[in-house]
Amino acid sequence: MANSRVLTLAATVRPDGRPHLSPTDFVALDGVFYLGVDEATARYRNLKENPAVTIMLADGMKRQAILEGNATFLDMKSGTAKRVLEAQKKRYGWVTDSLAEFQPVKVFTWKAK
C-alpha cells in the first residue's frame, strides 16, 4: 500500500499535547518508509519537537493500515534524500523541501473479505 494511490494521513503531536492530522506524502524505497514534510507546516514543527507519528493508509473500504512509529529527518544533501526525492517526484509529481525516515513500531492492518 505504501507505493499505491491511497489516502495517506499523518497524525503528529502538537507541543501542547493536542493531536494534529494532515495528508502526507509517503514513499517506500528499498524497504524503508519516508514522509514528505514541508518546513512551513505544523507537521514539521511537531516532528521537530516530538518524533512520534502515526500513519494511516486507506484504500477506501477495501483495506487499511495504521503504522505507529517515529520520524527522523534526513540530511537533504544525502544520496538517500536524492533517491527519495526522485521517487516522490515520480509518484506525486512534486517534491517536499524536507524528508523524514519513518520507523514503524507497531502496525495494524485490515482488509475486506
In this prediction, residues 45-60 reach a mean pLDDT of 95
Question: Of the candidates 64, 62, 56, 70, which has an alpha carbon nearest to the alpha carbon of residue 8?
Answer: 56
Range of the domain at 55: 7-111
pLDDT at 17 over 90: yes
The band of 3, judged by pLDDT with boundaries at 50, 70 and 90, is: low
Q: What digits encode the pLDDT tens for the residues 73-100?
A: 999 999 999 999 999 999 899 999 999 9
Residue 1 included in any domain: no
1: pLDDT strictly greater than 70: no
* Global pTM exceeds 0.85: yes
CATH code for position 28:
2.30.110.10
Overall domain count for the chain: 1
Q: Do the domain assignments include residue 2? A: no
Q: What is the mean pLDDT of residues 22-44?
A: 95
